[in-house]
Structure 1
Amino acid sequence: MRSISRFVFCAVLVLLSLLVGVRVEAQVAASSKDAEVEELRQTVRDLTQRVAVLEKQLNQRQTVVNAPAADGAVVSAASSSLSSAVVAEADATSMPVVADATGPVGAVNAQSATAAANAPGSQALPLPAQLPGGATLNYYFDGYYGYDFNHPIGRVQYLRAYDVLSNAFSLNQAGVVLALDPSVEEGRRYGVRLDLQFGQATETLQGNPANEPRPEVYRNIFQAYGTYVFPLSKGLTVDFGKWASSIGIEGNYTKDQMNYTRSFWFNYLPFYHMGVRANYKINDKLSANYWIVNGTEQSEPTNSFKDELFGFVAQPTKNISWTVNYYLGQDNPDVTPVSGCGTPVQPGLCLAPITPAPDGKLHIFDTYATWNATPKVTLALEGDYEVSRVWAHAGPGMSSAPKHVIGGAGYARYQWTPRMALAGRTEYFSDRGGLFSGTTQALKEFTGTYEFKVSDGLLSRLEYRRDWTNVPFFLTNRVGVLSQNQDTLTVGLVWWYGGKQGAW
C-alpha cells in the first residue's frame, strides 16, 4: 500500500506541475489588451505626478544650494542624489511606453514601474548585483525533491551526481558568484572570478582525501581565478587559478543545462582543475586551448607530473559550435599520508613516498557539438573515450593492462513557448574495468524534462529518468537484491539573481 500511495503522490505531483504551467500560460494569453493599455495609462499618470513632486523638491534644494551656507557641500550632495532619482524615475516612466503594451512583458514592466513609483523613499535596498568597475555579484539556490521507484535502502540513488537521495527534500547547491570579465574595448584587460558553493554539489565536486591531500582547504571554493588578455593578434586569454573543467558538454549550474539531473559522463569526467590555461583566438571561427594543471580534480597535486590539455573550439556558423579536447594526465599518487612526522607540519602534509611510484598515464579524448537548428530547437552530441593505466611498465606482480570507458550522449530541446520547454537526453556508457562504477557494465539512461519558467530568475523542472544496465547493480528495498534499472521522478526549483548575463 505504501508503494501505491507513493506512486499516486508522484502522479498527482506530475499532474499538478503540468496543470500549473498550462494554467499560468492560459492566464497570460487570455489577459485583456484593453485592461493592459488602461493600466499603462494609469502608470504614466502616476509617474508623471511622482516626477512633478520630485522636480519641485529638486528646485527647492537647488535654491538652498545657491544661497550662502556653511554646509553647502552636504546640500550639493543631497541635490545630486535627488537629481539621480529624478532621472531614474524618468527612465522608469519611459519603460512601459517603449515596451510592447499588448504582451505579457509590457504588463510586467508596467506593474514593476507602478510598484517603484508608489514605493516609500525609505524602502530597503535590494541585494547588490552591480559592483564598481563593472563587476557583478550573483546569487544562486538550487533544490529538489526526488523519488526512486525502487524504494532503495537508505534512499540512496546510485551514480547520480547531485540528486543522490530519494524521497527527500534536498539542497543541491547554494552559491555566490563574483565576476569581473575582461573588456578590451573599455581598456580593461584583466578579470577575476570567484564562485563560493555550499550543499550537495560541493560534496560531489570538491575532491576527497583519496584524490588530493587536503580537500577541506578548498571545499567551498568551486572556482577562483584571475584573467589577463594579452594584446597578441586577435587576443591571447590566460587564466590562473582553479576553474570548472570544460571537458564534457554539461556544467555545474542547472539553469544553464537542458535537464535537471546530470549525465553519467558529467559525473565521471573531471569537475575542476588548478593551474594555468590559455585560449588563443586564431580567427573569428577558430580558437585553440592549452592547459597545464596539477591533475584531475586536484587543487593540490598527488604526484610531480603536470597534466596537459590540447584542444580547439570551432564555430563554422553562428548556429554551430564544435569543441575537441585531448587530455594527458597521471592520476596515481607518489606519496601516502602517514602520522608521527618529526617536525611540525600542517594537517594533511605528513607524507611518505611510495616506492616504486605508479607511473601509468591517463588519456581522455572528448568532443561535443551544439546546433541551434531553429530559434526553438537545439540539438547536441557528445562523444568520449578514456584509457587509464596504473603502470606504464609493469614489474613483477604488477599489471599495465588498461581500463577503458567509451560512449556518449545525445540531447534535444524544444522551446515550446517563451515560458515552457521540453528536453530529452539519451546516453551510453561502457565501463570496462569499472573505472566509473566499480563494475564492468554497459550503462544507459534516458531523461525527459518539462521546464516552466515561473519568472526571470525562477525556474522549475519536472523530470522522469530511467537508468538501466546489463548486470544487477542498482539498490532496491531488499537487502542483497539489486536491480538492473533505476527509475526516478524529480521536481527541481532553481532561483538566481545578479548582474551577470548569459551562462554562468
Structure 2
Amino acid sequence: MRKILLLVGCSIAAYVGKAQDSTAIAVKTTASTASQTAAPDAEPVSTGKFTFSGYLDTYYFGNFNNPKSQSNLGLNGEGFGNARAFDQKAGQFGIGLVQAKALYTSDKVDAVFDLAFGPFADLGNYGNNVGFLGAGSTSLAIKQAFVTLKATPKLSFTAGQFGTHIGYEVIDAPVNYNYSLSNLFNNGPFYHIGLKGQYNFSDKVYLMLGVVNNVDNIFDNNKRKGLIGQLFFSPVSGLNVYLNGIVSNESSPDSLGNTPDGSYSLFDLTTTYQISSKFFLGLNAAVGSQKGDFQGYGGPVTAKSWSGIALYSNYAFTDKFGLGIRYEIFDNKSGVRALTDAAGNGASVNSITITGNITAAEGHVLLKPEFRLDSYSANKFQKNDGSLTKSQATLGMAAIFKF
C-alpha cells in the first residue's frame, strides 16, 4: 500500500512540476503569441515602447570686434540687439541647452515629453517665463509636451505644446548643420500650443491644419485663435518641399476686454534636396506681415512686412567630416520686427556661415568649428574702442553630446 501511495505521490509531483514549467513558458510567450491565440476578429495587442534621448551643448566664440559687452548681439537703440538667436556670448565659454526627451510610440498613440534646461531653453521658451505663480515657473522647462492620436493609418490628431512647423532650422543643436541660428529662425515662431490634424494622402504628400493659442506664449493674450497649416510633397526622390503658414491676431485686449483689430501672418517655403549621398542642398524663404498691437508691445497702424531667404549646402568628405555653408538675406527695413540697427531703426542684413562637422565617440559627440560674418545696412556693432561698425565676424567651436 505504501508503495502504491508513493507511486501516486511521485506521479502527482511530476504532473505539477510540468504544469508549472508550462505556465512559466506561457507567461514568457504571451506577448508574442497573443495574436495567434486570439479570436480571428480580435484586434492585435500593441504594447508600445519608450525611447529616451537627449543632448547637451557648450561653445566658445571669439568676436573680431572685441566688444566690451562680451556679446554677439550688437546694439538695438539704447539696449542690446538680437543679431544672434542663442550663441550670444563673445570671448567666453557658454552652456547652451540640456535636453531630456522621452517618446512613447504604439499603433494608436504617440506621446512626447521633451524637457530643456539652460540659457538656450530660457531663450527658446521666453513666453513661458511667467506662469500662474509668477516668474520661475516650471513651465519654462517644457520644450514640448504633446500627444498624437492615430485615428486611422492616414489621419492623426496632435494636442499640446509642440515645436513650430515653420522654418528650416530647429532649436535642437544636433539636428541643425550650422550651430548659430539664422535670422529667419530668430524672427519666426518657436513653438505653439493647440490642436492640429494631419492627413497623409500617401508617403509623398500630406496636409496639416491646426488651431493654436498664439505665437510663442504659454497663455493666450486674447480670445482669438491662430490658424496654422503645412503642405508637404516630395515630387522626386530626395526632394522634399514644405509650404508653411500661420495667421493670427496677436493684439492684447483693451481695458474693457475688447480685442482691437490686428493681424500677424507668416508664410514660409522650405525645401531639402539630397542630391547624392554626400552632397545636400536646402532653401528657406519667408515673408511676414504685421499690423496693430502685438501682445501688448505695440505695432504699426498699417500692415508692414519683413522677408528673408537662406540657402544651405553641405558636403560629406568622409563619414566623420563634412563642411556646410549658409548664406542668408533678411530684410526688416520696415522696422516691424526686433532686428534693427544700432539706432533702433529697421535694417537688413547679409550673413554667411561656414561650419565644419566632425563626428567622434561613435557618433555621440559632434564638434562644430564655425565662422560667421554678419553685414548690416547701417551701424550695428560696437568695437572695443566704442566706435560703431556695420559688420561683425565671429570664430569658434561648439561641442555637442547626444544620446
Compute the RMSD of aligned alpha carbons: 2.9
SS in 1 for 2:314: strand
Distance 1:317 1:168, change over 3 A: same
Q: How far apart are residue 212 of structure 1 and its match?
A: 8.7
In 2: Cα distance, 1:150 partner to 1:404 partner: 31
Is residue 162 of structure 1 aligned with residue 86 of structure 2?
A: yes
Cα displacement string for residues 43-62 of structure 1 (whole angstroms, at most 9, x for unaligned residues): xxxxxxxxxxxxxxxxxxxx
Partner of 1:422: 323
Q: How far apart are residue 298 of structure 1 and its match?
A: 1.5
In 1: Cα distance, 2:151 partner to 2:368 partner: 41
What does residue range 76-95 of structure 1 map to in structure 2 within 5 Å? none
In 1: Cα distance, 2:66 partner to 2:328 partner: 24
Partner of 1:464: 371
Distance 1:226 1:355, change over 3 A: closer
Of 272, 275, 279, which aligns to 2:194?
275
Cα displacement string for residues 131-187 of structure 1 (whole angstroms, at most 9, x for unaligned residues): x841111131111111111112221111211111011111110110001234xxxxx
Q: How far apart are residue 210 of structure 1 and its match?
A: 9.6
Is residue 225 of structure 1 aligned with residue 146 of structure 2?
A: yes
Distance 1:391 1:451, change over 3 A: closer
Partner of 1:86: none
In 2: Cα distance, 1:246 partner to 1:324 partner: 10
In 1: Cα distance, 2:122 partner to 2:111 partner: 24
What does residue range 444-463 of structure 1 map to in structure 2 within 5 Å? 444-454=350-360, 455-463=362-370
Q: How far apart are residue 258 of structure 1 and its match?
A: 1.4
In 2: Cα distance, 1:354 partner to 1:471 partner: 42
Partner of 2:41: none
Greater Cα offset, 254-263 or 422-431? 254-263
Partner of 2:348: 442
Is residue 376 of structure 1 aligned with residue 278 of structure 2?
A: yes
Partner of 1:44: none
Partner of 1:39: none
Distance 1:470 1:399, change over 3 A: closer
Partner of 1:253: 172
Q: How far apart are residue 399 of structure 1 and its match?
A: 5.7
Distance 1:210 1:256, change over 3 A: closer
What does residue range 135-150 of structure 1 map to in structure 2 within 5 Å? 135-150=50-65
Distance 1:442 1:354, change over 3 A: farther
Q: How far apart are residue 474 of structure 1 and its match?
A: 1.8
> Structure 1: which amino acid aligns with 2:59?
Y
Partner of 1:304: 223
Higher relative contact order (CA 8 A, sep 6+): 2
Q: How far apart are residue 433 of structure 1 and its match?
A: 2.7
Q: Is the CA contact (8 Å cut-off) linking 2:275 and 2:281 kept in structure 1?
A: yes
SS in 2 for 1:266: helix
SS in 1 for 2:252: coil
| Residue segments in structure 2 that go unaligned for 5+ positions in a row | 1-12, 29-46, 74-82
Cα displacement string for residues 220-252 of structure 1 (whole angstroms, at most 9, x for unaligned residues): 100000011112xx5111110000101001011
In 1: Cα distance, 2:53 partner to 2:166 partner: 25
SS in 2 for 1:154: coil
Of 249, 253, 262, which aligns to 2:181?
262
Q: Is the CA contact (8 Å cut-off) linking 1:156 and 1:165 kept in structure 2?
A: yes
Q: Is the CA contact (8 Å cut-off) linking 1:157 and 1:475 kept in structure 2?
A: no
Percent of aligned pairs sharing the same letter: 23
Partner of 2:79: none
Q: How far apart are residue 209 of structure 1 and its match?
A: 7.7
Q: Is the CA contact (8 Å cut-off) linking 1:211 and 1:302 kept in structure 2?
A: no
Partner of 1:151: 66
Q: Is the CA contact (8 Å cut-off) linking 1:403 and 1:432 kept in structure 2?
A: no
- TM value normalised by structure 2: 0.80
Of 160, 174, 177, which aligns to 2:101?
177
Q: Is the CA contact (8 Å cut-off) linking 1:290 and 1:309 kept in structure 2?
A: yes
> Structure 2: which amino acid aligns with 1:489?
L
In 2: Cα distance, 1:483 partner to 1:274 partner: 40
Distance 1:135 1:376, change over 3 A: same
In 2: Cα distance, 1:307 partner to 1:244 partner: 15
In 1: Cα distance, 2:321 partner to 2:128 partner: 42
In 2: Cα distance, 1:314 partner to 1:483 partner: 44
Q: How far apart are residue 318 of structure 1 and its match?
A: 2.6
In 2: Cα distance, 1:427 partner to 1:146 partner: 20
Partner of 1:327: 246
In 2: Cα distance, 1:467 partner to 1:171 partner: 23
In 1: Cα distance, 2:118 partner to 2:129 partner: 20
In 1: Cα distance, 2:384 partner to 2:321 partner: 36
Partner of 1:401: 302
In 2: Cα distance, 1:423 partner to 1:402 partner: 36
SS in 2 for 1:316: coil
Bigger share in strand = 2
> Structure 1: which amino acid aligns with 2:94?
S
Cα displacement string for residues 21-67 of structure 1 (whole angstroms, at most 9, x for unaligned residues): xxxxxxxxxxxxxxxxxxxxxxxxxxxxxxxxxxxxxxxxxxxxx99
In 1: Cα distance, 2:258 partner to 2:144 partner: 34
Distance 1:134 1:371, change over 3 A: same
Bigger share in helix = 1
What does residue range 34-49 of structure 1 map to in structure 2 within 5 Å? none
Of 125, 145, 156, which aligns to 1:206?
125
Is residue 195 of structure 1 aligned with residue 114 of structure 2?
A: yes
